[in-house]
Every structure is written in C-alpha cells, then in structure tokens.
Chain A
Amino acid sequence: DTGVSQDPRHKITKRGQNVTFRCDPISEHNRLYWYRQTLGQGPEFLTYFQNEAQLEKSRLLSDRFSAERPKGSFSTLEIQRTEQGDSAMYLCASSLLQGDEQYFGPGTRLTVT
C-alpha cells in the first residue's frame, strides 16, 4: 500500500494559463475526492467519484474546473484560465466503497501569479 499520491507537488503558473493535476488513489479504493484548501482554512469539498462516475460537484467547482476519472483509477483535475483566486492547496483523498475513512495525499500547491 503506497498511499495516495499527487503530482505535481507544486505548480506555479501565470494567470490565464491552464493547469492539470493528477491523483493516484490507494489501489483498491473505489471512491476518490478532491478538496481545496486555502491558507488558514480547512479543506473544502470540490467533487467526488465512485469508480469512474462523478457523483457530486460542489458549487465551488466553477465552469473553469473539470475533473475526470476515466478508468476508475487515477483522476485528473483541470483548471482552465487560472485566476489568482485559484491559488490554494488541492488535496485528493480516497476511500473504500463502504468506508468512512478518507486517506489524503500530500496535495498540490498551486500558485497563480
């Protein structure tokens, strides 16, 4: 069990550029979650997948954000036309289908300049 991994760990981009983050969950976990954490705050839910199906999206997930989990394994989160307000830590978590516990990855820190 290698845990949840995220790539890249850090991303600096200029406003208006597109960025994509990847999350690899724990291998047997069916559920995958994305959260966003800004400085001094707790994580906020963005979206979650059960296998390849995206079952819930937060209102925080504007039209510029899209997430996929094409084969029910890894997931990608893309932000188009980044804005300075998108600067945050993006956290991925996974859990078993019947599990209550979510296991978090190390996060991707995005800085939009």
Chain B
Amino acid sequence: AQSVTQLGSHVSVSEGALVLLRCNYSSSVPPYLFWYVQYPNQGLQLLLKYTSAATLVKGINGFEAEFKKSETSFHLTKPSAHMSDAAEYFCAVSDKNTGRRALTFGSGTRLQVQP
C-alpha cells in the first residue's frame, strides 16, 4: 500500500522567507502526487500536481514542487512567504500503476508565518 510522510507537523517562517514543506512517498512505481492547502474550517484546495510530465511543477499562489525519483520526494517550496500562506498543507498520492484514483494523504504540515 502506498504511504506518504510529511516531515514536520508544524513549520514556522518569517514573512518574506523561503517556505519548504517536505513530502516523501513510498511506492515502487512513482505515483501521481499532489499538494493541497486547507484553511480553517474549509475544504481542500489543489495547489499543484505531478503526473509524470515535467519534474518541476508550478502551482497557484507562487508555490512549486520538484519530483525527485531518486529521493522519493515531492517537496513544496515558495521563495517568499506571505501572511496569507498560513494554513495546513497536505501531500497526497494516487496509484498511477493500477489506476486507482483514491487519494492517500499525509498527516499534514501546519505553516505559520510570523510578521
């Protein structure tokens, strides 16, 4: 079964600093990979996805992620944090090999942005 590990349940950065949220997956075949953001008491919004095209994926709100097969990683970055980026971020995978579309999520990383 696939699994996703998000290192760091809480990350705090200063406004304007680099944001780095880590995600590692376990799968013998590279899966589809997603990053979602969740604001308090809301559903999830898709930030970006990797589906085997370019390894560097650009998403909304200035976020991007790089797929590294050798490291089984899909870390999310943003060059300069904004106060509005404070939220919970989830990495998720689905199985490209079987075509099963159900998402398996990591446990999330709460991003705090300090003024």
Contacts and interface: CB of A to CB of B under 8 A. Distances in A.
Interface of A: 4, 31, 33, 35, 40-45, 48, 56, 58, 91, 93, 95, 100-107, 109
B74 interface: no
B102 to A, nearest CB: 4
A15 B43 CA distance: 25
Interface stretch (B12-20, B45-53, B61-69, B76-84): B45-53
Given A48-B101, A100-B94, A105 B43 contact: yes
Contact of A107 (B43, B90, B107): B43
Given A42-B108, A43-B90, A100-B32, A48 B45 contact: no
Contacts of A58: 102
Interface residues of B, number: 25
Contacts, number: 60
A74 to B, nearest CB: 16
B37 to A, nearest CB: 11
A103 B45 CA distance: 7
Given A41-B108, A42-B105, A43-B90, A100 B51 contact: yes
A103 B9 CA distance: 24
28 contacts: A4-B43, A31-B101, A33-B101, A33-B102, A35-B103, A40-B9, A41-B108, A42-B4, A42-B92, A42-B107, A42-B108, A43-B44, A43-B105, A45-B104, A48-B101, A56-B100, A56-B102, A58-B102, A91-B44, A93-B44, A95-B101, A100-B34, A100-B94, A100-B101, A101-B34, A102-B46, A104-B43, A105-B43
B45 A104 contact: yes
A106 B49 contact: no
B42 A44 contact: no
Nearest to B4: A42
Nearest to A91: B43
Which 8 A-B residue pairings sit nearest by Cβ, starting from the closest? A42-B105, A104-B43, A45-B102, A104-B44, A106-B43, A42-B90, A43-B105, A107-B43
